[in-house]
Chain A
Amino acid sequence: MAVCTGCSLLCEDIEVALKTGAIEKAKNLCRKGQGHFQALFSDRTVPSVEGGETSLDQAIEKAANILMNAKDPLLYGWSNSSLEAQKVGIELAKKLEAKIDDTSSFCQGQLLERVLKGELPSCTLDDVRNFADVSVFWGADPSNSHPRHLSRFSYYPRGSKRQKGYEEERNCVVIDVRKSSTAKLCSDYFRIPPGGDAEFAEAIIAILDGKMPRFGDKKRMIGLASIFKKADFGAIFPGLGLVYSLVQKMEIFENLVARLNDVSNYKVVPMVGHYNMRGFNELMLDETGYINQISFKNGVHHGSENSVTMAAKSSDACLVVGSDPLSALPFVIARSLAKSQLVVIDPRRSLTTDAAKVVIPSAMSGLESGGKAVRMDGVRISFEPIFESNLLSDEEILTRIMEAI
């Protein structure tokens, strides 16, 4: 059995057979996972400096040189690397007195930090499968982002306390601004206007407090509050829709969760996207007391100025590991990165590798190199490489850069 590192569900039941240059047979891989495995065979990177192909040794030497001579380096990415590689990355940031940040800064960081610090109650996805009778996807569309979430854990499977079919024993609630693929499958879909998440949460709190809701269809809102109250075990899966909407009002969500726990038992599992974002955040929390946005210049400093979205403009050099910020970030930030001394460690070609001064090809984590990672719910998963490769892992490349520095 192989582990899929296509998303933070880290499915452990994958069976694959290969023929030259393609997957011959695959069992249990979703479409997203299929794309992830298929990526082995296209757009692979080669070592390069200033756009010209070179040896791996020279690329590593040049990368070390750029980072060593930078006044204000930023080390970014990490969510697609194993825990072992992330540990070396944090050591490298300390050695360089660099800024270090990951994708959580502009996605699930706010919620995950609360979960990791015990400020929001959480549980494992196995608990959800075994006990949950209400699953709430709020601003999340797992059918597109985590395609096996519903079938492995949150809606369709039978669990130790949920032996009957999902139609009888589970409610799946979707709260979203559009009728997503998941909304089409769920038992209860609530459409909200963009930015209406706070009012929706407050309306549910009002009903739980015995007041009339001032938002939405009153009858349906009261019906939803009743589903929430009757639940034995509810799981809320917040997605980016909720996070972006409540970005400076997250206490409203915390209040709702607390209120729901007065009437029943509710847990929160943020819909972390990349396969090991949570792992990086856990390591950073242990090391610094914060999950991201750290500068190691003269000690440990935390702040938004160290986030990739802000540091990209001030840093003179950036090491990107396993990420494509030039595709995923706003153009102005992407352009700042493109103009810095950009060093990229990545198995595959991307907009970011195309703009980089130095590209170092790496083994695809989970496919060509092994390690450990933390699933979205905090469960540690180990994986072995399933394909032979001569490529170095992120961990090995980062260790060599450390040694060169």
Chain B
Amino acid sequence: MKRFSQLLVTLILKTSRNDKISVLSEYFKYTPDPDRGYALGALTGTLSNPGIKPSLLRTLVAERIDQELFNLSYDYVGDLAETVSLIWPDTAPYKEKLPSIAEFISKMEGTPKAKLSALISSFLDNANSNERWAMIKFATGGLRVGVSARLAKTALAAYSGCLLEDIEKVWHGLTPPYIGLFEWLDGKTGIPKIQHTRTFHPMMLANPLNIEQDFDRLDPNDFQAEWKWDGIRVQAVFDESNKQLYSRTGDDISRAFPDIVGELNGKAVLDGELLVGENFKALPFNQLQQRLNRKSPTKMHLKNYPAFIRVYDMLFYNEDDIRDLPLKIRRQKLEDWMKQVKNSRLDISEILDFDSWSRLAELRTEKADTLGHEGVLIKDLQSKYSPGRPKGPWFKWKRDPKFLDGVMMYAQRGHGRRSSFYSDYTFGIWRGNELVPIGKAYSGFTDEELVMLDKWVRGNTLNRFGPVREVRKELVVELAFDSAHASSRHKSGIALRFPRINRIRWDKPAQEADTTETITSIM
């Protein structure tokens, strides 16, 4: 834990990507197994943490520190792990050696619930504040030290000389503490063998299109275009005995969609958009939301919102890895496979007919409202299927956003770097004389604007409910959003898709914000 805490402290303060990579490489190179593998798991979010609840930490602190002093401190620091680590009385007369990560995990797992608080207290007593902070972060999950999984893997590549692509290819077939992975990285064995039709493979993502720059240099003949559906991106991974559905982040969501999983036939890895609707006719996103909100669906859900996949791409054809073949060929193979293997819940994504970018622009807007998609995807016919978001081969061209003026109603603290700022806001619009919430937004502003918003919130607070502040209904903000739907989640009866702050209207009186009627008219 000592080394690990030094690693986390260094990482959170380093700003340069290269510095982070070199610090991580050093760590992976010189830290023994299995600790480095557990650290890798914690950094990449693959390690299921012991799951210490914040409430337990608060109880432990309450036994040591006056409640009011704790609250004032927490309000000042803004982050629970950091507050607890700093406020913990540093009074142990002498300190025992800290456990390794492996010892930490095994002790936590081997301790009955009733004795867990004593164990954690003794860990915290024996640590300094940085070590306490690292242990709490480790035990509560979600490190937030500015290291993405991608960056951690880049560091693995940097220290070992192995290719990042190769690491990505086996990554999802492996689990912490990654002993086999490190054996290979250290050059002691070959690349770990994984079962491709049983593991998630990182997805290829599209970049937003820059209309001014990209179209001039791109030839429409080199590209294929498809609708960009407003569902969730999924990967279906299946063979005769094993059938799984993964979200874009690699979470296994099979249990929520037995109607799809139960109907998967053959052996393949497919990439597509999960949607709901009869006969492959997609319903709006908020209908899909009914399914996403549940871990497992009821009969009613299965009947009213049957799910299907609009297949975009194929990664494995039977057992053959076809990711390095050009899209054109992969598409051909996908079409062949779809003809051979009967799958009632798979529908191949339509290729759009266009000969110029201006024709595609027309298609994009004219069909958007009738079909309910959110724009088009444009893909280079020669593109390999490369994990991540490579610049160049794939673009998404969304419909133009819509706007409304809302009034700030509540503000909540953000997380991580923004934890001491009120950065998550709830906005409302008028229904008669009453403001009704329409959604939350926490992006779209600059750092300077965040400071101004935070100051405004603090100076205009009416009430506090834990981390939430109710503010004076005076600040108008122009929200951009992709579409509006009827919804029972908000009192306004309306839900926005991807709301974000477009500009802050310091000048605009709250009375002039939008009304539920105007928004309903554009739904």
Report if A and B associate in a common complex. Answer: no
